[in-house]
Structure 1
Amino acid sequence: MTEDGIYVYAIVRADHPLPLGLGGVGDPPGVVERLDEGRVAAVVSQAPPQLRARRRDLMAHQELLLTLADDGPVLPMRFGMVAPDETVVRRQLSDAEERHLAALEDLAGRVEINLKALPADDSLAALVQGDATIRGLRETVRRRPGYEANLRLGEAVATALARRAAEAGHEIVRALTPRAHAVTAGPDVSGCQVNMSFLVDRGDSAGFTAEAERLARHHSDRVVLRIAGPLPCYSFLEPRALAGRAGG
């Protein structure tokens, strides 16, 4: 490898096959290799100089992880994980071998699906009909229009839309939770009232998504549901499965 370090995509079992004909990050795409250490391995390539979160590299990272997952469990690294050299990677694989094997066993045959609940902005009519406070503020604006009255109405509408989206989002989460092996909250996202990830069986991912879409339609007067997946199981790993510096 070079002085730019080693780009780490994932940790897998040592017998995990590498996908044929699939390159890694960089231009030209990096050659993907497997560094075996005992019963585990790191999937790596040469780290490109001046690594940035360019679309082609983000897509290459994601595609490689999804393709790897077709052949067995994967502990995915977030985009931009770079280790200084092979020695560091091997040492950390060796030190955490048992923990990595246990995590791989937990994720075998499973994928992540993420749901984000956002306010349904086109539901104002239903909101006005069902919220006496909003109706009163709107009537005030009609009778005595002005900046402060409009501001109070706008703030009340935004708060109510967010509350309704959060309530509907949590109802959807409760309905879907029995189908998942694990559920975890994601980080706060601007404009998003609920951000949850579910660990589900790979074979049930289509059914899980279909049920989420059905629930979204049922609650469409209150919430817009964004569904992403199946994804690598980022949200169900230890925070630092492999130490390194993050590029981008």
Structure 2
Amino acid sequence: MGTSQVYVYAIVHAGRGLPPEARGVGRPPASVRLLPVGELAAVVSDVPEDLRARRRDLMAHQDLLIRLGADAPVLPMRFGMVAEDTRTVAEAVEAAAATHLAALERLRDRTEMNLKVSPAQCGIESLVRADAELRRMLTDVRRRPSYEGNVRLGQAVADGLTRRATQAVEEALPRLTALADGFVRGPEVPGCVLNGSFLVPAAASERFRAEVERTAAAHADQVELRLTGPLPCYSFVPQDGAEPAPPARARAEHAMTGS
């Protein structure tokens, strides 16, 4: 096996092909190849000389993963995963082969859908109508305008919108999770009451989208919903042993922070 560094995109079953004219990160886009490791294979390419988290490369990384996952399960790597050489990749994949195979089986015929939910700003009027305390605060501010009064009123309105949006989300979640084989809450996103990812079977994807649309329509004055997908199943891959050795992680983080 070679000694030059390699960029790692994903882990897949051995014996599968790559999408036609598959290309990776870099300019010009790197040629992508399979690195067989027993029953598995790593999808890799050479490392661009100036690897950075540029939009074009982030999109190239994700687009390749989406194409790979169109007809077979894929364990995606995060952007910027670089290993010292192919031997390092092969050893890491082989060491966690059982975990990888189990994860690939779980992801078969499934995709990740991400849902972000934020309070609907158009709901302020209905919020005030339904909240006697807000109506009192609004009357006080109009009678005795002050900076402090406006700040308190603004915070109370923001809290009320967030509270109603959270209630709407908690009501809708059981219906959405019933259509999925997995659900995880992601990192907090400013302005959002939910950043959640769902592992959705292909057979239920249209019903899942329809339920999101129904929820958006039924709670239009409470929440704004943004559904993204299909996505690579980042949120549902094993956290231990799913990626190359720690030196590769450190190098990837260096590449990301250098952008």
- With normalisation by structure 1, the TM-score equals 0.96
- Matches of 2:42 and 2:188, distance apart in 1: 30
- Aligned partner of 1:165 in structure 2 is 165
Sequence identity percentage:
52
1:90 to 2:90 alignment: yes
Q: Tell me which moved more, 144-153 or 49-58.
A: 49-58
DSSP-derived class of the 1:61 partner: helix
Offset, 1:50: 2.4
* Unmatched tracts of structure 1, length 5 or more: none
- Matches of 2:213 and 2:48, distance apart in 1: 40
**Letter in structure 2 aligned against 1:62:** Q
Offset, 1:235: 0.5
- Matches of 2:212 and 2:236, distance apart in 1: 20
Q: How many residues align?
A: 247
Offset, 1:2: 7.5
- Matches of 2:69 and 2:177, distance apart in 1: 23
- Aligned partner of 2:227 in structure 1 is 227
Residue pairs, 1:128-207, within 5 angstroms: 128-207=128-207
- Matches of 2:213 and 2:45, distance apart in 1: 38
Q: CA RMSD in A?
A: 1.3
- Aligned partner of 2:208 in structure 1 is 208
- Matches of 1:72 and 1:87, distance apart in 2: 25
Deviant stretches of 4+, over 4 Å? none
DSSP-derived class of the 2:122 partner: coil
Offset, 1:239: 2.3
DSSP-derived class of the 2:178 partner: helix
- Matches of 2:111 and 2:90, distance apart in 1: 27
1:238 to 2:233 alignment: no
DSSP-derived class of the 1:123 partner: helix
- Aligned partner of 1:31 in structure 2 is 31
- Matches of 1:203 and 1:8, distance apart in 2: 30
- Aligned partner of 2:65 in structure 1 is 65
Contact 1:17 1:71 survives alignment (8 Å): no
DSSP-derived class of the 2:171 partner: helix
**Letter in structure 2 aligned against 1:103:** A
- Matches of 1:168 and 1:50, distance apart in 2: 46
- Matches of 2:81 and 2:173, distance apart in 1: 31
Offset, 1:145: 0.6
- Matches of 1:115 and 1:94, distance apart in 2: 34
- Matches of 2:16 and 2:104, distance apart in 1: 11
Write out per-residue CA displacement over residues 11-43 of structure 1, whole angstroms, 9 at most, x where no aligned residue.
000112111112100000001000001001110
Contact 1:14 1:36 survives alignment (8 Å): yes
Offset, 1:71: 2.4
Write out per-residue CA displacement over residues 34-86 of structure 1, whole angstroms, 9 at most, x where no aligned residue.
00010011101111122111111111111111111122100011111111111
- With normalisation by structure 2, the TM-score equals 0.92
- Matches of 2:210 and 2:3, distance apart in 1: 46
Write out per-residue CA displacement over residues 77-103 of structure 1, whole angstroms, 9 at most, x where no aligned residue.
111111111111000111111110011
- Aligned partner of 2:47 in structure 1 is 47
* Unmatched tracts of structure 2, length 5 or more: none
Q: Tell me which moved more, 95-104 or 232-241.
A: 232-241
Offset, 1:204: 2.0
Offset, 1:162: 1.2
- Matches of 1:47 and 1:171, distance apart in 2: 46
DSSP-derived class of the 2:72 partner: coil
DSSP-derived class of the 1:113 partner: strand
- Aligned partner of 1:17 in structure 2 is 17
Offset, 1:181: 0.7
Contact 2:119 2:162 survives alignment (8 Å): yes
DSSP-derived class of the 2:227 partner: strand
Q: Tell me which moved more, 120-129 or 167-176.
A: 167-176
